[in-house]
């Protein structure tokens, strides 16, 4: 992106909405509930919230401030602050390239379920075996994936993101209402659902493991679109008179609130249908797709509600996939001096190639594993638990030790703004966050290579 052409968001609401549109997506609705179910319920929720208000807050303030201070996107920003940190910008830019393809594969699953409900096949989808059968067919998931990534690419290529964002602004509140309706319906009408609420809300230390923290941390990066340069880019568009601290709080509350509600919609339902059986809770990426159709099947008007639900989720997913692709395309344009359309086509090509691996990992390539993981799990794990912590660590070192936190605090206090949590911020970014990230990184690497099972 060219500095001179850099436009600004019109106001605080414009900035917060755009950043929230990128942050709220499948991460909140699909990924958060299955991790919370798998890694201990209430204890996962508690760890996640604690991390969000300390660590997530500090990192988001940092990224936005770095973007606004330098006025350029991530790949340039780090190098501008200190030449030795140029690599951080490049590393951060690799993350969306890995995430976009498999994100679009999940987006394809959403399209499949949307079409299924719209065609009145809701009951068939409520069958336990349905999701597995669908995934193991070689062709169908590929078609829906291509449709999803194709629409994403078309929107980015034609530059009509604004249109999607407008629709999404209407869809987002409806989605929140629907999630609430589904959650209340499940909890009130289904036997056993209340046990699920307890499991989800009440922290139980006996469910705690190191993986609870590893997973919560990875999820935090993913959900808040951190450690991949996206918030740096957003920050570069932010005007000086808008409060970085205030905006960060709003994005954080919004993003965590929606994730919390999504968990409340899914986990009690898992309990109602399985009695909280550990294998059902540990289902992983398929959890939402297996559980929700069963809820819709018992619900009056369930087919319609199911179709409406999946269409809202689709829009939330599209705003995120578009912002992922937009980021990659702008990197290609800036760094490789490419024109927009060829850059879009190349990014589309790379995404199709990597996405196909994730699709086939469940069907014809199901025997092939990378470090014992299927392709989709591998891409997810590698980006969230390895690359993002490395980027986050380097960011902390750059700001905490090289520039000193004062640089970010100064940026946050531009135009007479008061940075209320600056003490917490300084301590976090200088000491707690880097030490913590190294510990997390080491645990995930050890786990990754199967040295220890934690
Ligand atoms: N934060 C998004 C989500 O929760 C995913 C995403 C990551 C989107 C990075 C854009 C950029 O779904």
pLDDT digits (tens, 9 = 90+) for 185-201: 999 999 999 999 999 99
What is the CA angle 209-421-35, rounded to 5?
25
200, two tokens: 């989800």
Q: Give the three-state DSSP class for 208.
A: coil
Write the pLDDT tens digit of every residue in 126-155: 998 999 999 999 899 999 999 999 999 999
Q: How far does residue 204's CA lie from ligand 1's centre (Å)?
A: 29
- CB 23 near ligand 1, within 6 Å: yes
Upper half-sphere CA count for residue 363 (Cβ side, 13 Å):
16
Model pLDDT, residue 4: 42
Distance from C-alpha of 192 to C-alpha of 268, rounded to nearest angstrom: 8
| Residue among 18, 21, 23 whose CB has most ligand 1 atoms within 8 A, to mutate | 23
Model pLDDT, residue 308: 94
Strand partners, 373: 370
Q: What per-residue string of b and e applies to 193-223 under the rule 16 or more CB within 10 Å gives b? A: beebbebbbeeeeeebeebbbbbbbbbbbbb
Q: What per-residue string of b and e applies to 418-450 under the rule 16 or more CB within 10 Å gives b? A: ebebbeebbebbbebbbebbeebbebbeebbee
Model pLDDT, residue 3: 43
pLDDT in tens, the chain (454 residues): 444 445 566 666 777 888 888 899 999 999 999 999 999 999 999 999 999 999 999 999 999 999 999 998 888 899 999 999 999 999 999 999 999 999 999 999 999 999 999 999 999 999 989 999 999 998 999 999 999 999 999 999 998 777 777 887 888 889 999 999 999 999 999 999 999 999 999 999 999 988 899 899 989 999 999 999 899 988 988 889 899 999 999 999 999 999 999 999 999 999 999 988 888 999 989 999 999 999 999 999 999 999 999 999 999 999 999 989 988 998 888 888 899 999 999 999 999 999 999 999 999 998 888 888 889 999 998 998 889 999 999 999 999 999 999 999 999 999 888 999 999 999 999 999 999 899 888 988 887 776 655 4
- CB 324 near ligand 1, within 6 Å: yes
**Phi first, then psi: what are they for 373, rounded to 5°?**
-115, 150
Tokens 């809202």 map to which residue? Answer: 312
- Total-model pTM: 0.92
CB atoms < 10 A from the CB of 158, how many?
11
- Given a contact cutoff of 8 angstroms between Cβ atoms, the answer to whether 64 and 15 are in contact is no
Distance from C-alpha of 98 to C-alpha of 58, rounded to nearest angstrom: 25
Q: Is the dihedral of CA 21, 27, 30, 34 positive or negative?
A: negative
Model pLDDT, residue 170: 87
- CB 323 near ligand 1, within 6 Å: yes
Model pLDDT, residue 8: 65
């Amino acid at each position: 992106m060219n500095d001179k052409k850099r436009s600004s968001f019109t106001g605080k609401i414009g900035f917060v909405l755009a950043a929230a549109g990128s942050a709220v997506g499948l991460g909140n609705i699909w990924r958060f509930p299955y991790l919370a179910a798998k890694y201990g319920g209430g204890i996962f929720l508690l760890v996640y919230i604690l991390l969000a208000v300390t660590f997530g807050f500090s990192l988001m303030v940092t990224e936005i401030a770095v973007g606004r201070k330098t006025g350029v996107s991530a790949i340039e920003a780090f190098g501008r602050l200190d030449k030795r940190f140029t690599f951080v910008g490049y590393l951060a830019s690799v993350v969306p390239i890995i995430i976009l393809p498999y994100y679009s594969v999940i987006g394809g699953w959403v399209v499949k379920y949307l079409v299924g409900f719209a065609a009145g096949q809701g009951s068939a989808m409520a069958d336990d075996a349905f999701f597995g059968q669908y995934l193991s067919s070689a062709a169908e998931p590929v078609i829906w994936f291509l449709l999803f990534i194709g629409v994403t690419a078309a929107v980015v290529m034609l530059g009509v993101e604004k249109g999607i964002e407008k629709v999404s602004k209407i869809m987002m509140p409806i989605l929140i209402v629907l999630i609430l309706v589904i959650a209340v319906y499940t909890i009130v009408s289904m036997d056993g659902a209340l046990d699920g609420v307890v499991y989800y809300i009440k922290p139980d230390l006996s469910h705690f493991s190191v993986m609870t923290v590893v997973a919560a941390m990875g999820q935090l990066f993913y959900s808040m679109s951190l450690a991949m340069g996206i918030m740096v880019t957003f920050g570069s568009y932010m005007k000086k008179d808008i409060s970085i601290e205030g905006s960060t709080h709003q994005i954080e509350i919004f993003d965590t609130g929606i994730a919390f509600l999504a968990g409340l919609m899914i986990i009690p339902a898992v309990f109602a249908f399985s009695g909280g059986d550990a294998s059902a809770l540990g289902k992983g990426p398929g959890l939402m797709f297996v559980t929700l159709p069963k809820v819709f099947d018992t619900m009056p008007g369930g087919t319609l509600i199911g179709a409406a639900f999946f269409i809202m989720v689709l829009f939330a997913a599209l705003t995120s996939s578009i912002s992922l692709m937009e980021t990659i395309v702008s990197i290609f344009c800036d760094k490789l001096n490419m024109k927009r359309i060829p850059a879009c086509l190349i990014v589309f090509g790379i995404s199709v190639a990597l996405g196909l691996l994730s699709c086939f990992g469940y069907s014809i390539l199901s025997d092939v594993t990378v470090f014992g993981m299927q392709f989709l799990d591998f891409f997810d794990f590698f980006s969230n638990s390895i690359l993002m912590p490395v980027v986050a660590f380097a960011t902390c070192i750059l700001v905490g030790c090289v520039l000193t936190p004062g640089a970010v605090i100064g940026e946050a206090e531009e135009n007479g703004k008061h940075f209320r949590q600056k003490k917490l911020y300084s301590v976090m970014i200088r000491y707690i966050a880097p030490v913590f990230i190294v510990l997390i990184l080491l645990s995930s690497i050890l786990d990754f290579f199967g040295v220890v099972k934690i």
